[in-house]
Amino acid sequence: MKKLFGCICALVLAAPLLRATDTLDFYVIDTEGGKAVIVQTPAGQAMLIDAGNPTRDGRDTKRIVAQAQAIGIKQFDYILATHYDGDHVANITNVDAQIPGRVFVDHGEILSTATARGERQNYEAYLKMVGDRKRMIVKPGDTIPLNGLEMTVVTAGGNVLSKPLPGGGQPNEYCADATPEPIDDWDNAGCVGLYCQFGKFRMLDLADLLQMVECKLMCPTNLVGTVDLFMVSHHGLKMSNSKLLVHALHPKVAIMANGPRKGGDPQVLDVLKSSPGLLDLWQSHFSPSGGDKNAPLDFIANPAAPCEGKTIKVSAQSDGTFTVTNLRNSFSKTYKP
């Protein structure tokens, strides 16, 4: 009997570990118009992509730390700063103070064209925080070492891949009539863009990448190919998310980390919903300007004020199946390969 009891205990204790090895999980944290995504790999590694906004009440820090602790993360193997806008990088210091990073990833020196809104100060504060810890300055084509999957950098520092990914390399029919929005004076053009492949599952996240750099990545040849999941760029703002990008990617699902008063532009909602093969759009917030173009309420994590800061979770399997869950209401939908 004691032996049987011991076996049962061992199985119970092992169960969370067994579940952790089954899926690649993404947690799209609500930072109300910023960006923060926790990635937990099948091998149990953890990565934080950006950390939202620094606020007096520590709102985004609390949300990120609470989610990380809920899934057993005590240290981030990687903390990646996609670029140096405040709503992406300025709160990394606060999160790192509670859940430290082991390796820091970024695109290197701030772009010379970035003159707006204190990016230089953000960059210098970020460097001071990293100190003498390990830092990876990445360029397109580099990979981030994560066991069991491929995490490839497709854009960084304003540059793009020099050769197509497997499955990419086809002429892009949407380039012919493209008129990209011009580059702004922020560091957005320098964003670290990530392509993730886990078995047959494929995801693309370009952070706040601008249309001019989207065009370099996708025209005249689509260097990426198609994806299952597209993390909508730049909170759903129209200076990103061009048709030549979204329609060529042919995503099944898009997730938009917008804010209650930021992003979710009607033009972007039109591009997303008209994309060939798109099954569903999920949103962090209802977009007032989007009106009836918004996703159905079950697909929106925070549909009304006061904001509850609810998360959208993605669990992907290596056969290409993935499930998206709205943690506000536990509504979920599974997408087959």
Over the stretch 64-74, which tens digit does the pLDDT of each residue have? 999 999 999 99
pLDDT value for 305: 82
Where does the pLDDT of residue 114 fall: very low under 50, low under 70, confident under 90, or very high at 90 and above? confident
Q: Take residue 149 and report the two structure tokens written for it.
A: 């999957």
> Average pLDDT of the chain?
92
Count, in order, helices (H) and strands (E) of the chain: 8, 19
User: What SS3 class is residue 286?
Assistant: coil
Question: Is residue 137 within 8 Å of 103, Cβ to Cβ?
Answer: no
Largest CA distance in the chain: 74
Where does the pLDDT of residue 118 fall: very low under 50, low under 70, confident under 90, or very high at 90 and above? confident
**How far, in Å, CA of 262 to CA of 273, rounded?**
19
pLDDT value for 85: 95
User: Which amino acid, 153?
Assistant: V
Question: Is residue 288 within 8 Å of 302, Cβ to Cβ?
Answer: no
Which residue, 212, 210, 161, is CA-closest to 188? 210
CATH 3.40.1080.10 fits 23-331, yes or no: no
pLDDT at residue 13 above 50? no
**Element containing residue 335 per DSSP (H, E):** strand 331-335
User: Which amino acid, 286?
Assistant: F
Q: What are phi and psi of 231, to 5 degrees?
A: -80, 105
**How far, in Å, CA of 313 to CA of 310, rounded?**
10
pLDDT value for 115: 73
DSSP for 221-250, written as a single string? EESS---SEEE-GGGG-TTS--HHHHHHH-
Query: Is the pTM above the cut of 0.85?
Result: yes
pLDDT value for 238: 96
The proportion of the chain whose per-residue pLDDT surpasses 70, expressed as a percent, equals 93
CA distance readout (Å), 74 to 23, 88, 268, 289: 19, 21, 37, 39
What is the chain's alpha carbon radius of gyration, rounded to the nearest angstrom? 19
Q: Sort residue 236 into left (φ over 0), alpha (ψ -120 to 50) or beta.
A: left
pLDDT at residue 9 above 60? no
pLDDT at residue 220 above 70? yes
pLDDT, tens digit, 9 for 90 and up, residues 235-270: 999 999 999 999 999 999 999 999 999 999 999 999
Sign of the Cα torsion 295, 299, 303, 309 reads negative
pLDDT at residue 322 above 90? yes
**How far, in Å, CA of 28 to CA of 176, rounded?**
34
**How far, in Å, CA of 257 to CA of 36, rounded?**
9
**How far, in Å, CA of 267 to CA of 261, rounded?**
16
**Element containing residue 65 per DSSP (H, E):** helix 59-70
pLDDT at residue 6 above 70? no
